[in-house]
């Protein structure tokens, strides 16, 4: 009876963990995160797609080697692909400079940097993430193993996304991980959000940061950025490109009140 009672207690206390529509990771414990994560609509959708894609992998089976080889290929390619997207798309300025892409940029990254603890903006919209995963991984799988390889690759990307999303939550949770590796990646990601946004673009894998020169280990290596919360979308930029500001209903701020790091979410505490 322990698990049902814990679940009931979680939902009874959910109102105190919410900021508007979203769960506030700065107020949640690890068990509460597990409950929210495993019942979150986009995660449930990923789980359903994993099952469906795995079934299609078996249905189109074309031999063990052709079906299995796309899995390590995606594991190798995926971190670099998301690094490039994070650095050159999500942190770009061209998205907010267009009326047609400004709302997408606001949803997929600006809101997350404005308040990194809100769960509903931390998770990417499946309308954006699922097609991106498919475009990155399915052609690779198809080239290696045909239809079975294509769906094996897509399944792998979905599993990796679920893992990424969970650890991304941990990195913004008011919780100091006991596992040294998790504490390390949390520290690096907290630096990205609260010290200097132009670096440490990885979530669980920082090898691309090291390769492309955007890795930094601690706050002493770089001065604090003035745009860590607004990603360069300043008041001056908003006057020239007002579409994001019109959607938020207020001028952009460098450090919104809601984005102040919890004591357990500072680089020093995560270390």
Would you write out the chain's pLDDT as a tens digit for each of its 271 residues?
Answer: 444 555 445 444 554 455 544 689 989 999 999 999 999 999 999 999 999 999 999 999 999 999 999 999 999 999 999 999 999 999 999 999 999 999 999 999 999 999 999 998 899 889 999 999 999 999 999 999 999 999 999 999 999 999 999 999 999 998 899 999 999 999 999 999 999 999 999 999 999 999 999 999 999 999 999 999 999 999 999 999 999 999 988 777 776 544 455 555 554 454 4
pLDDT of 9: 52
pLDDT of 268: 47
Q: Is residue 244 in some structural domain?
A: yes
The tokens 């099952």 sit on which residue? 51
Q: Is residue 13 in some structural domain?
A: no
Q: Is residue 4 in some structural domain?
A: no
Q: Is residue 1 in some structural domain?
A: no
Which domain does 265 fall in, by range?
A: 22-270
For the entire predicted model, the pTM comes to: 0.85
pLDDT of 192: 97
The number of domains in the chain is 1
Q: Is residue 128 in some structural domain?
A: yes
Q: Distance between CA 41 and CA 104 in Å, rounded? A: 20
Q: Is residue 7 in some structural domain?
A: no
Q: Is residue 62 in some structural domain?
A: yes
Q: Distance between CA 204 and CA 62 in Å, rounded? A: 32
Please state, in angstroms and as integers, the Cα–Cα distance from residue 212 to each residue in 80, 188, 218, following that order: 10, 16, 17
- DSSP annotation of 24: B
Q: Which residues pair with 23 in a beta bridge?
A: 18
pLDDT of 185: 97
pLDDT of 11: 43
Q: Is residue 97 in some structural domain?
A: yes
């Amino acid at each position: 009876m322990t698990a049902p009672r814990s679940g009931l207690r979680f939902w009874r206390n959910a109102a105190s963990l919410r900021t508007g529509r979203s769960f506030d990771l700065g107020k949640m414990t690890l068990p509460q995160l597990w409950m929210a994560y495993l019942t979150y609509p986009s995660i449930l959708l990923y789980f359903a797609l994993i099952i469906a894609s795995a079934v299609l992998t078996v249905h189109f089976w074309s031999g063990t080697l052709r079906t299995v080889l796309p899995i390590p290929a995606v594991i190798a390619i995926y971190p670099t692909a998301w690094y490039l997207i994070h650095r050159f798309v999500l942190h770009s300025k061209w998205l907010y400079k267009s009326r047609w892409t400004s709302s997408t940029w606001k949803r997929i990254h600006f809101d997350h940097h404005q308040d990194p603890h809100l769960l509903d903006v931390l998770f990417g919209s499946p309308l954006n993430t699922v097609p991106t995963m498919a475009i990155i991984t399915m052609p690779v799988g198809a080239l290696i193993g045909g239809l079975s390889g294509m769906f094996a690759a897509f399944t792998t990307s979905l599993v990796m996304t679920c893992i990424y999303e969970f650890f991304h939550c941990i990195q913004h949770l008011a919780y100091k991980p006991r596992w040294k590796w998790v504490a390390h990646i949390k520290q690096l990601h907290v630096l990205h959000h609260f010290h200097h946004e132009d670096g440490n673009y990885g979530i669980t894998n920082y090898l691309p940061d090291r390769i492309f020169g955007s890795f930094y280990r601690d706050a002493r290596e770089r001065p604090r950025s003035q745009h860590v919360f607004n990603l360069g979308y300043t008041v001056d930029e908003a006057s020239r490109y007002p579409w994001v500001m019109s959607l938020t209903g207020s001028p952009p701020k460098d450090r919104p009140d809601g984005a102040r790091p919890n004591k357990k979410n500072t680089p020093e505490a995560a270390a």
